[in-house]
Structure 1
Amino acid sequence: MNRKYILLCLMTAGCICAAGQQKVGWDEAYREADVKIAELTLDEKLHFMRGYSLFFFYGVPEKGIPYLYHSDATQGINIRRNLPDTTMVRQLERSTAFPCPLMLAATFNPDLTRRYATAVGEECRAGGVEVLLGPGVNITRNSQCGRNFEYFGEDPHLSSVMTAAYVRAIQSTGTAACLKHFICNGTEFYRRRSNSVVDERALHEIYLPPFKAGIDAGAAYVMTSYNQVNGEWAGQNSYLINELLRGELGFRGCVMSDWSSVYDTEKVVKNGVNTEMPGRKELLSEVKTLLAAGRITEEDINRMIRPSIATGIAFGLYERKKYLPEWLDKYPQHEQTAYDVAAEGIVLLKNNGILPLRTGRKILLTGRFLHEVPRTGDNPAASAAVKGYNNVTLAEAMYDMNGDALSIVEKPTSAQLAAADVVLVSAGTIDMESFERPFALPRQEEQLIRRAVEANPNTIVLVNSGSGVRMTSWNDKAAAVIYGWYPGQNGMKAIVDMLFGQLNPSGKLPMTIEREFKDSPAKNTMPAGAEFYHEAYRAYNENLISVYDVNYDESVWVGYRWYDSKAIRPLYPFGLGLSYTTFTLSRPQIQAEHHSAKIQVVLTNTGERKGSEVVQLYISEKNPAVPRPEKELKAFRKVELESGKKTSVEFELNRQDLAVWDVNSHGWKVNPGEYVIGIGTSSADIAYSLIWNIKEGEK
């Protein structure tokens, strides 16, 4: 083998890696799919239109198309013991419970995202999972949504960066990624009855970018959502699937429906979805009726199932080794990754100087999640339930650190609270698929926190949740407030290490926490007079409610964009996160050309210990031709520095970073004029601003 050929092979391998480990080009994959389809009987083709045994793509092994196993979800593998056909796979005995994706987003660290997704992919390969039903890339619009913890926050740029890193990493292991849920799936309140009414500009500027990033990174699959979008169910919506997903975004892989989310068989066949999951019992008989009536043809069926088979070919899923049990030896590395993500994802929101704590102080620990790892609900139908192993509770981690100086009191008196050197109150929510939950904490938790901060000024509040919660009534009196999310199986150890200064917090909020839910643009998501429900029979009984509209009237003003435009001061802004050290930014410099700009700023650690800061770059148009947000995140960089050290942080922007979606031309447009580049450490803390001039006629 000559050197030129070796170099060509290496270059080709690099291209494959860049395309998300795709093994066969799309054109060739579709040609091979056509050959396989020609060998199928009509009955076999009909079965490819739907899933098999709840979590499998249908297969005809004797014709070179094995069944493919799907598994939930982004934060680890949901090991389902109740599959109808357990002979299809050898189930894993355990899977690592990683911090929730929203905590991963709070790290603002794409490198950690790659480690996280690689670990999940390796466990998939060990367990014979061909397709991971993740990552979830919906935008966090509504803090009451029970599924926010599965996503990467409110900002499309942050979400896009994390999505791309996740997809490339998991597919580097040979596990196929499935982006979900396409699109505008922003509520879990009777989700199969919600109609997201959203404008063209918001779709393109806010909700499509993470999907585009995942597709550009090579994602194999996309899952449609439960909701309607502008009056048609997403899973049978020709505009969404054929025009947006396949046309504008150029997606060539397989589109699957979310489970039991489509209703019109003729639309399902013709409107772009390739596999109905898990498949209605009546689907096959209805297809045969439509064929007999001439409403659909066998060619329609071929066209429907073609991308499903082509995707299996393109990603080598039909030929790869089913199980890699040797990768089970990587569990210790996966545990370390889970810890590292939690360590960088903890967000210190407030600290009056009480932190870090010193060991030996009398600490009273009380509240929720003391003897259990905080995680999402264990509803067996919920995709993100991952129980983990070697779980470390808050009580265990605190005792290991502080020994007998720790006292755990479930229902402390005011006298006990006042007598402690420090009070640590653990609070939070249990969020899950199919359920909304109130913005306010449960009444007993709220009362406990208020009693604690009144009785003892040295009260620290730890919140474990998958989204924002109401903290307004006690936040000002707490000595410190920490957001610990759902931190995974050993994340409580990371939280305790942070409390006692063994690690320096560096997480940043990936979404805004409002003072009151009435401040949110999503305040009218639930229909007037609707009440929260807690029972599964209500969550899955759609006959209890008619289709209702969720009006995205805020358009592109989502999250911090909304609060800026309305001059509403949130409790904690997007991008905020404190450290045990301090940083300063120099005045940035800009080198601008016609089509790009380079921005350079010096970050200095002015404190007494090593730490990390996230430098954030925002853009706005000074005199916009159409209304635009006051600022939009377009770049960020996480930097670790020793005490007293400094480093140059560089960003490069292009014209697309300035673009707005033009609803007249139905395309991106950059208007001439002045653009403001803001550099800071949160959306509310912009240290310096620069001007980038774009002249008329520049390309």
Structure 2
Amino acid sequence: MTLEEKAGLCSGADFWHTKGIERLGIPSVMVSDGPHGLRKQEGETDHLGVNESIKAVCFPAACAVASSFDTDLIEKMGETLGEECQAEDVSVLLGPGVNIKRSPLCGRNFEYFSEDPYLAGKMAAAYIRGVQSKGVGTSIKHFAANNQEYNRMSCSSEVSRRTLREIYLPAFEEAVKAARPKTVMCSYNKINGVYSSENRKLLRDILRDEWGFEGYVMTDWGAVNDRVKGLAAGLELEMPSSGGMNDAKIVKAVQDGTLDEQLLDRAVERFLRVVFDYVDHRNPDAVFDREADHKKAVDIEAECAVLLQNNGLLPLKQGKKIAYIGAYAEKPRYQGGGSSHINASRVTSAWEAAQKKDRNVTYAQGFPFDGDVKDDQKFAEAIELAKSSDVAVIFAGLPDSFESEGFDRKNMKMPDCQNALIEEIARVQPNIVVVLHNGSPVEVPWADKVSAILEMYLGGQGVGEACDRLLYGEANPSGHLAETFPYRLEDNPSYLYFLGDGKKVHYGEGVYVGYRYYDKKKIPVRWAFGHGLSYTSFAFENLRASAEEMDDEGTIEVSIDVRNKGERAGKEVVQLYVSDRNGTFGRPDKELKGFAKVPLEQGERKTVTFKLCARDLSYYHEALGDWYAPSGSYEISIGPSSDCLEAKTTITFRTKKLLPFTVDGTTTLGELLADPRTAAVIQQMMAEAQKAMAANTPNEEAADSGDMMSAEAIQAMMQAMPLKSIVSFGMMNGEQMEGLITVLNQTIGAV
């Protein structure tokens, strides 16, 4: 292979195809946007979806699928998407998106799973396993710290190492280690001043050396900054084509010695390995059965919808006169805008589904599908219909113009015309159900005035049929929120930092993202992370652990019995949280470390078991450069949501890991007492000091007068005392102190 050919393979042939080399039998293959459907464009192509793509099945977006808390479900969805890709000869499906929902305002939140990295990672791994089981690659994105649309192509995400490791990288880590995606897509933005596309720390040190990634790294479309630096850092494929400009730069760099040709060879090898893996698993007999896949989309969405509140009005009773109000009843908003926009093969609205089933339903538009315009006549018609009906079901949410790739939301509000109509109907109709179609949380000032709220999210082309099943009890809601719904935007932890100044955005909230923040600050929220209701009820009983203690190499199994104590079959999401009870500074109150979705018939009981290891108890210690859990007590809590933990137990953890520690004059006695390597030396020194102080104690009369410090005060003062101060207090001289420091460092092994 010539130098020019090798350089050429490192960029696309056009918008959606890689280059081939006919004389060497290297094929050109196609990649296509996902993640919740196949957006295969034909003819003129573009990245943001302005031009037409083939008819395909639009599955629920990630915002909905994550709410299923069901890894089996998303894996099966992935299998279906993989089969569709094979039928359309697409080698790599560009997804899933696992960026953390740092703020409700990110315009692309509908494409991302969760505010929680554990949940996002597990869902992503399942999706990847499903797609790749069909011989099609995936491209997990956007690596990394891509959490806003504003200036996403140039802004620098300023994030601490601990925050990166605990919040923004774990979903990628889990997916890479557990599911081995064929490709990783780097993001547009900088991370701490270095573009992702040329960030060696991310692309080589972490992704490959630590996590063992074996595929190739590709850019988001147009994300290259310096192509030669990028290739050296671990960026294999630039998309789309640069018209030969960057290929020539690679050639020149090799020729003048600024780029080692072995790095280019390695990049080409990684790229070709993925290409030929697809070729070897090509299935020309695959069929894209749009009708069958549409039914799957309906079934999946029925598992994703979240019943946020219900005073007993749902499920709707047959024979009742029901008013459907709002444009989304007739024309549902079922997907977001931008590069993931699917040309849906068919869409059935809730209004159509009700008509097909001969429901006793009438319809009034009330407000428009897009925009925020109040039509007085349509308002009046909707109010009158609601007044004359037994129940009003209002289909509301966010219009296309409110959330999309390319821009961020300005606030968490729904259109004023929608809020106003809900308020007006609440004055004349006590029985109101609000069905929400949105890709991220919204403020709901009318929540206490309505009977039930059903969150459908952006539920794909089957959203209307799934909604009909749920409203009338043909399906039992089983989704739980993968993100917190705060009462107002100002409560969000990123509120003071989000978007930044256009050049940099500081992640000043650190690890306190989503429920981690609301829990720590004890801020009330509208609906907590993990929240979701059902038409039945469940009991959590008999929590037990396989052992009381665990060490660095060990594991503990935690089991609980879940019982359906209601009157119909249903599914419960069992969530396990871990809490550090050692007073460790800077740790959230609790963190999700296990979940399972459990189907239960009426009266049925099942046992759910989770396995915990040291990593599940740990935080990222920057000085250690590794995960660390201090020895001590850890609380294990299990329940149906983060704010409803019905069973708890405590385990003891013992670690042999020792933190980096160098002693100098500013080291406090408290620090030395807390470290097992130095505690004995300091305890002996303090005992001798206390003896000396006792020998100089005033007589009892002076003690009784209150002139003496209490023993507790003396102890606290000594704990906070730096070594350099013990000279001032006459406990030893300077030479003795320097000797003590030397002994302590030798004991630690720091010298």
Asked if TM exceeds 0.5, the reply is yes
Q: Do 1:95 and 1:389's aligned partners in 2 also have CA atoms closer than 8 Å? A: yes
2:505 to 538, 547, 550: 550
Q: Quick one: structure 1 residues 551 and 363, their matched pair in 2 at CA, closer, same or farther if it must change by over 3 Å?
A: same
Deviates more, 1:123-132 or 1:161-170: 161-170
Shift of the alpha carbon at 1:84?
A: 5.6
Shift of the alpha carbon at 1:263?
A: 1.8
Q: Quick one: structure 1 residues 404 and 601, their matched pair in 2 at CA, closer, same or farther if it must change by over 3 Å?
A: closer
Shift of the alpha carbon at 1:368?
A: 3.3
Aligned position for 1:625:
584
Measure the CA separation in 1 of the matches of 2:557 and 2:516.
25
Shift of the alpha carbon at 1:297?
A: 4.8
Aligned position for 2:688:
none
Deviates more, 1:57-66 or 1:172-181: 57-66
Shift of the alpha carbon at 1:201?
A: 1.0
Shift of the alpha carbon at 1:463?
A: 0.8
1:507 to 479, 483, 487: 479
Aligned position for 2:469:
497
Q: Do 1:343 and 1:505's aligned partners in 2 also have CA atoms closer than 8 Å? A: yes
2:408 to 424, 436, 439: 436
1:580 to 504, 527, 535: 535
Q: Do 2:442 and 2:485's aligned partners in 1 also have CA atoms closer than 8 Å? A: yes
The answer to whether 1:392 aligns with 2:353 is no
Q: Do 1:607 and 1:644's aligned partners in 2 also have CA atoms closer than 8 Å? A: yes
Q: Deviations over 1:378-413 (max 9, x none)?
A: 5xxx22111322310122123234545423343232
The answer to whether 1:478 aligns with 2:450 is yes
Please give the secondary structure, in 2, of the residue aligned with 1:686.
coil
Q: Quick one: structure 1 residues 84 and 656, their matched pair in 2 at CA, closer, same or farther if it must change by over 3 Å?
A: closer
Aligned position for 2:386:
417
Shift of the alpha carbon at 1:42?
A: 2.1
1:608-619 equivalences in 2 (<5 Å):
608-619=567-578
Q: What is the percentage of aligned positions where both structures have the same residue?
A: 34
Instruction: Identify unmatched segments of 5+ residues in structure 2.
Output: 47-51, 367-377, 659-751
Q: Quick one: structure 1 residues 48 and 326, their matched pair in 2 at CA, closer, same or farther if it must change by over 3 Å?
A: closer
Aligned position for 1:541:
none
Aligned position for 2:729:
none
Q: Deviations over 1:481-536 (max 9, x none)?
A: 111011111221111111011111110001101111111122245557xxxxxxxx
1:258 to 220, 233, 241: 220
2:129 to 163, 168, 171: 168
Aligned position for 2:258:
295
Measure the CA separation in 1 of the matches of 2:134 and 2:424.
50
Measure the CA separation in 2 of the matches of 1:296 and 1:644.
67
Measure the CA separation in 1 of the matches of 2:497 and 2:357.
44
2:546 to 580, 583, 591: 591
Aligned position for 2:426:
453
Measure the CA separation in 1 of the matches of 2:224 and 2:304.
37
Aligned position for 2:211:
249
Cα root mean square deviation, aligned: 2.1
**AA matched with 1:668:** W
The answer to whether 1:606 aligns with 2:579 is no
1:162-561 equivalences in 2 (<5 Å):
162-216=123-177, 217-281=179-243, 282-291=245-254, 293-313=256-276, 316-321=277-282, 324-328=284-288, 330-378=289-337, 382-403=338-359, 405-410=361-366, 411-413=378-380, 414-429=383-398, 430=400, 431-437=403-409, 438-471=411-444, 473-527=445-499, 547-561=502-516
The answer to whether 1:150 aligns with 2:106 is no
Q: Quick one: structure 1 residues 409 and 349, their matched pair in 2 at CA, closer, same or farther if it must change by over 3 Å?
A: same
Measure the CA separation in 1 of the matches of 2:113 and 2:159.
20
Shift of the alpha carbon at 1:312?
A: 2.5
Measure the CA separation in 1 of the matches of 2:573 and 2:11.
45
Measure the CA separation in 2 of the matches of 1:659 and 1:78.
40
**AA matched with 1:494:** A
Q: Do 1:51 and 1:58's aligned partners in 2 also have CA atoms closer than 8 Å? A: yes
2:630 to 648, 658, 671: 671
**AA matched with 2:103:** N
Measure the CA separation in 2 of the matches of 1:678 and 1:156.
18
Measure the CA separation in 1 of the matches of 2:198 and 2:584.
36
Measure the CA separation in 1 of the matches of 2:502 and 2:207.
25
Aligned position for 1:536:
none
Structure with more relative contact order (C-alpha pairs < 8 Å, separation 6 or more)? 1
When Rg is computed on C-alpha atoms for both structures, the one with the higher figure is 2
Shift of the alpha carbon at 1:243?
A: 1.5
**AA matched with 2:274:** T
Measure the CA separation in 2 of the matches of 1:103 and 1:52.
35
Measure the CA separation in 1 of the matches of 2:165 and 2:655.
24
Q: Quick one: structure 1 residues 236 and 374, their matched pair in 2 at CA, closer, same or farther if it must change by over 3 Å?
A: same
Q: Do 1:585 and 1:603's aligned partners in 2 also have CA atoms closer than 8 Å? A: yes
Q: Do 1:422 and 1:459's aligned partners in 2 also have CA atoms closer than 8 Å? A: yes
Q: Deviations over 1:243-272 (max 9, x none)?
A: 121122221210011111122233123221
**AA matched with 1:565:** K
Q: Do 1:53 and 1:83's aligned partners in 2 also have CA atoms closer than 8 Å? A: no
Q: Quick one: structure 1 residues 319 and 698, their matched pair in 2 at CA, closer, same or farther if it must change by over 3 Å?
A: closer
Q: Do 1:362 and 1:407's aligned partners in 2 also have CA atoms closer than 8 Å? A: no
